[in-house]
A and B are shown apart, each in its own frame.
Chain A
């Protein structure tokens, strides 16, 4: 596209908010009752992250299962949402599908195959924020849409809809043990930025919500990275 820098998102935003909402309405009807399964798995993940446990971190198998569920969600959305439905409105959706597929592969490689993704109930601010962001994506974000004027049939559910899945994944990743998982944070954070901009271009209510959640995660993750490096620096020097 020539002079691409002169284009704003509203210049290339090719469908209306009404069409976007209808997309979810028809998607929900087509995949029913997958939403119930996704919600149940989401609650299971939440309880696993929240419940008291022994030792440091959850059991490794639980980390594998949580990661496998997340990967399955990202892959499902890549195919069932982006390729099968969203791509009929916008050619860009095919690139989104590749992004979601990449995130699924990264989760499988890191968490399922190598088993290096475990989660812990962290008592600090980052841990509380991570769990809160996850619960927000699972329980609050879908309902907020209805409060802002969407019909309940157009609901976006964690595990099958891109926005709550991306936000929820970011929340969970804040609870990952060890170093900050930037390689896993990148795709959902980018998606949240794109989604927020898309919603803003369509004059959707509260378009900043998804982007703000992602920005919060990135800030907290950066804070955690800095804190970790300082701690390791102190211990090395000491």
Chain B
């Protein structure tokens, strides 16, 4: 039976829709209203403080059951307000699995696609980027980064040309585990990049000295990788009880405490923890809700974790 549309039902529906748009993005799992965001300095576009990495976790090959599991992780990520998904041609089948998940979810419009070019030949960069785009199934990437600075002198001009032509929105560079920071600084100081991606977590804080201040000075957005040192960090702290004072910054678990330390740094735009589990992605994105640590609380987190 087709429901009858009356003036009363129409008005109540519109009121409900209006309320929903005000309240969104609503996190069902956290019960909090709005995900916290930070602007990309070069454009002002705001991104949620927590994104999703895909290193190891999304490299499941053509295993349909595992791909469906990854799609469920993506669904929970978007449901809780996440946007930024990061991958690379280096990550095996991760790009293809992300593409599979996005397709299954109906290509969520809020997706902020961040990928990388990772090839020693500058001439072969565009071909690799096109292949990555095909695997993701997106019309264009939001962000393309030179992975681990590989052949950046050749790739960056091509990426800037793509940006000028509207074929990518932002350009960046990446490193991990503290490698080549001097070179990262040189590129940040000399090239008009929008993003830099570095390793930053409660125990690996080298970037606080020079790279994060330089990012603020040069108005470069910062994506931070390896927030849990690929797992060992969180596994080691989870052997201990979560300190009671973690509730003062709305942390329900260790993942949120570790992530809130990272994203509360004013230069950090977004952290990208990777996971293959729905409960973990919900915990992670939960760090982008509620109160964030101030400077004294940040020092307290460092001190506490270092002394565990």
Contact = CB atoms under 8 A, between A and B. Distances in A.
Given A15-B56, A22-B60, A1 B91 contact: no
A19 B180 contact: no
A11 B276 contact: no
A14 B60 CA distance: 10
Contact of B93 (A1, A2, A18, A89): A89
Contact of A19 (B55, B60, B150, B230): B60
A7 B148 CA distance: 12
A3 interface: yes
Interface size class of chain B, counting residues whose CB lies under 8 Å from the partner chain: 20 to 34
Contacts of A88: 61-62, 92-93
Contacts of A85: 61
B217 interface: no
A2 B60 contact: no
Contacts, number: 55
A14 B230 contact: no
B12 interface: no
Given A2-B148, A88-B92, A16 B61 contact: no
A14 B180 contact: no
A200 B92 CA distance: 19
A2 B149 contact: yes
Contact of A14 (B63, B90, B176): B90
Interface in B35-73: 55-57, 59-63, 65-66
A91 B65 CA distance: 22
B59 A14 contact: yes
A13 interface: yes
Interface in A8-38: 10-11, 13-16, 18-19, 22-23, 26
B56 A14 contact: yes
B91 A14 contact: yes
B300 interface: no
A10 B150 CA distance: 19
A90 B177 CA distance: 21
Contacts of B57: 16
Contacts of A16: 56-57, 59, 276
A1 B150 contact: yes
Given A3-B180, A11-B177, A19 B148 contact: no
A6 B56 contact: no
A2 B56 contact: no
Contact of B63 (A2, A6, A10, A22): A22
Contacts of A11: 176-177
Nearest to B230: A10
Given A3-B179, A6-B179, A15 B148 contact: no
Interface string B151-186: 000000000000000000000000011011000000
Contacts of A1: 148, 150
Contacts of B93: 88-89
Contacts of A13: 56
A90 B91 CA distance: 8
A16 B91 CA distance: 12
Nearest to A15: B59
A91 B128 CA distance: 14
Nearest to A91: B92
B180 A23 contact: no
Nearest to B149: A2
A15 B70 CA distance: 14
Contacts of B60: 15, 19, 22, 89
A100 B153 CA distance: 37
Contacts of B230: 10
Nearest to B63: A22
10 nearest interchain CB pairs?
A88-B61, A15-B59, A14-B92, A89-B92, A89-B61, A14-B59, A19-B60, A16-B56, A22-B63, A88-B93
Given A3-B180, A14-B56, A91-B92, 12 more contacts: A2-B148, A2-B149, A6-B179, A11-B176, A15-B59, A15-B61, A16-B56, A16-B57, A16-B276, A18-B276, A22-B65, A23-B61
27 contacts: A1-B150, A2-B148, A2-B180, A6-B177, A6-B179, A11-B176, A14-B55, A14-B56, A14-B90, A14-B91, A15-B59, A15-B61, A15-B92, A16-B56, A19-B61, A19-B63, A22-B63, A22-B66, A23-B61, A85-B61, A88-B61, A88-B93, A89-B59, A89-B92, A89-B93, A90-B59, A90-B92
Interface of B: 55-57, 59-63, 65-66, 90-93, 148-150, 176-177, 179-180, 230, 276
